[in-house]
A and B are shown apart, each in its own frame.
Chain A
Amino acid sequence: MSDKPEKTSDKHYEDKFEFPLWKLIQDRAEEKGISYAKAAPAVVAEYSKTIKYRDPEFEDKVIMARAEELNELGKKEEKLGIKFKDKKSK
């Protein structure tokens, strides 16, 4: 695998895909004969159970990992002399 970052123009062309949650909302709306807006709350409530919202240990781990990446990136930019702070009042 190349160490060089991938150029944006080399990939990420638009491609066909489906959002699983959107499919579920549309299916429920069709099944019940109601609008997407009316179908959404019940579907979202069920879908949310598959997400680790109530696992603060998991969340903290993910957040801290990303925060650490950003810290490192910030230090790298500082070493390159990139340090643009907005001028602030006291």
Chain B
Amino acid sequence: MTDDLTEIADEVIETDVLMIGGGVGGCCAVAKAKENGLDVTLIEKAHIDRSGSAGQGIDHYEGFFTRDGTTTIENVSNEDWRLGRYGVRYPNLNVKYRLYKCQFWVFEQLEKLGVPMRWDDGEPYWIPFPFVGWERRKTGLRVHWTNIKPILGRAVRRSGARILNRTMAIDLLTKDGKVVGATAVNIRTGEFIVIKAKATLIATGKLMRLYNPETPMPWKYKFRYHFCPASSAGDGYALVYRAGGDLVNMDINAWTFRIRDDLTCSYGSFSLNDGVPMKTYTWDGEEIINPNATRYKQLEDEGKTPIYFGFDHFSEDSHKRLEVAFADERMLSFKVAEDRGFNPKTHRYELQDLSPTGFYRVSGIYIDENFRVLRGNKPIEGLYAFGDGSAGGTSGVAGAATGGLLLAEDLPEILQDMDEPEIDISQVEEQKQIALAPLAVEEGVEPLELESAIRDICERYVGMFKSEGKLREGLRRLGSLKDWLGKLSAETPHHITGYLECRNLLDLAEVHIKACIERKETRGNYFRSDYPDIDPDMDGKFFSQRIENGKEIIELREPIPLKPEYLKDAEEEKAELQTADAAS
């Protein structure tokens, strides 16, 4: 075996910062890190101008506790309580606190990057919040970000960062417990690339492709996920897991109604419709409260399904707002709706079923408030993560942008005394073989077939209502799918993407099912038919999973509480507000 990396790799890059993922978060981090004088390399498996979940645009930015920037302990507690609908708490509330604390700084930073935070009249627009009784100050911004990705792409190019589009990470490189970079493949040319980095940052989006898309028609060979399917393969989760980092709450995922007709009407600003929720109807026209999973089951038993969303109660003003939301976040919806005759003024959108969807917010890569990836409770040197793939509050465009900007601001000090990374060449050899293997397979299986089989297992044997027998059968069947990875073929380097995504999804499906087997209770959105009650011993706790010395570890952990200095800060702020209120 050679000692010379240049004999194995088509390109060897040495850099201060390797950014894996060129979505909103990644682009913000890169631009800021370059501004701070660092050498930065960005790899993105698509193209930064339209990659990631913001690729078609974004209509809302949910970064604020309040419109005036206050961050009292009640705000933080309310946020934590709000996550109770997932049944669990954030693994580390300090992440969320730090993010919310600096939102107005982020506002300024995004404006500096050319992102329009204000409307044409020079003012931002705060989304009115629905429902009587809610804290009306809690809100986000309504934004017209059809072109946020080209804007950030321009900012990244102007920064002078090294940008490798159409380049997909294979695995992280590790040495003596540290992360020292990654290997990657150019999916146009097939070139194998080694990147040595003092700091490796991961922001590759959320995991959704363990389950079928939110709009499953026409079926599973089409990727009709609301968010970018390429950035929903959970790549970053798998990279971290294989490198020994923790994934948390991989039993807990969000759920949603699958919408048969138009995939976009239940997301973002649409679902809030600037404070005016949609109506939900049974098939015979009766209006009902939007059901949870248990109520939906009852409606099925009563013969009241299908159920539908409707906007026919909207005023002309609200219908125009819906159009603007389409333009901002998913212009394709105009064409889909017009081609199919889904007129929001008259149409009833069938809600097909309640199904598990993405792993984000409380689930994903375990990080601390400095965005360091954790192994147990200890940070892994050289590895950082933020954005949708990280558990604990950096989800959504606001979380991703804030995480990227804050981390990049800290990086110069972090990297100051860091040693030059050393590479284990045997890892490089191994990773190259893994990535390029499908190019040599003749008459093999298409990656999408294997991915469909993985998703079928999660749909059938995990799903919404789990039980021991189903989970164990799912795990067994997943095990027999692993042999198929070696039978996948890639006609061109482009198809290596699908192969590597399958590899990631196989690992993550196993993590998911094993976590579900461990949680023997029903709580929030997590349902075990064989354990229908809450287990009070599980209150507030979460599962973390990692690989240690070749062995899979699954641990039940307590969340990390707010740091004393944050608690003190929040309480002091509350006292100041009370004083100000009393004075006025």
Which A residues are within 8 Å of any B CB, using their own CB?
Answer: 4-9, 11-22, 25, 36-38, 40-41, 43-45, 47-48, 50-54, 56, 58-60, 62-64, 66-68, 70-71, 73-74, 77, 82, 84-90
Q: Number of residues in B with C-beta < 8 Å to the partner?
A: 71
Q: Which of A15, A64, A77, A89 contacts B341 (CB 8 A)?
A: A15
Contacts of A4 in B (CB 8 A): 285
Instruction: Say yes or no for B3: interface residue by CB 8 A criterion.
Output: no
Could you write out 12 A-B pairs with CB less than 8 Å apart?
A7-B284, A7-B285, A8-B285, A12-B347, A19-B326, A21-B323, A25-B327, A48-B144, A51-B321, A51-B324, A62-B276, A86-B293
Q: Which of B147, B327, B539 contacts A21 (CB 8 A)?
A: B327
- Given A62-B315, A73-B287, A88:B87 Cβ within 8 A: yes
Q: Is the CB of A89 within 8 A of B131?
A: no
Given contacts A17-B341, A47-B323, A66-B277, could you give 12 more A-B pairs where the C-beta distance is less than 8 Å? A5-B281, A6-B285, A14-B343, A14-B347, A17-B343, A22-B323, A40-B146, A41-B146, A51-B317, A59-B274, A63-B276, A77-B288
Contacts of B147 in A (CB 8 A): 37-38, 40-41
CA distance A36 to B330 in the complex (A): 12
Q: Which of A43, A44, A77, A86 contacts B87 (CB 8 A)?
A: A86
Nearest chain A residue, comparing its CB with the CB of B342 = A14
The secondary structure that dominates the A interface is: helix
Instruction: Say yes or no for B340: interface residue by CB 8 A criterion.
Output: yes
Contacts of B343 in A (CB 8 A): 14-15, 17
Per-position binary interface string of chain B over residues 271-289, scored 1 when its CB falls under 8 Å from any chain A CB and 0 otherwise: 0001111000101111111
Q: Is the CB of B284 within 8 A of A40?
A: no
Per-position binary interface string of chain B over residues 56-80, scored 1 when its CB falls under 8 Å from any chain A CB and 0 otherwise: 0000000000000000000000000
Which B residues are within 8 Å of any A CB, using their own CB?
Answer: 84-85, 87-89, 119-121, 125, 128, 130-132, 142, 144, 146-147, 150, 274-277, 281, 283-289, 291-295, 298, 306, 308, 313, 315, 317-318, 320-321, 323-324, 326-328, 331, 334-335, 337-338, 340-343, 345-348, 522-525, 533-534, 538-540
- Given A47-B324, A62-B275, A87-B522, A73:B130 Cβ within 8 A: no
Q: Is the CB of B327 within 8 A of A44?
A: yes
Nearest chain A residue, comparing its CB with the CB of B332 = A36
Contacts of B540 in A (CB 8 A): 89-90
CA distance A16 to B342 in the complex (A): 8
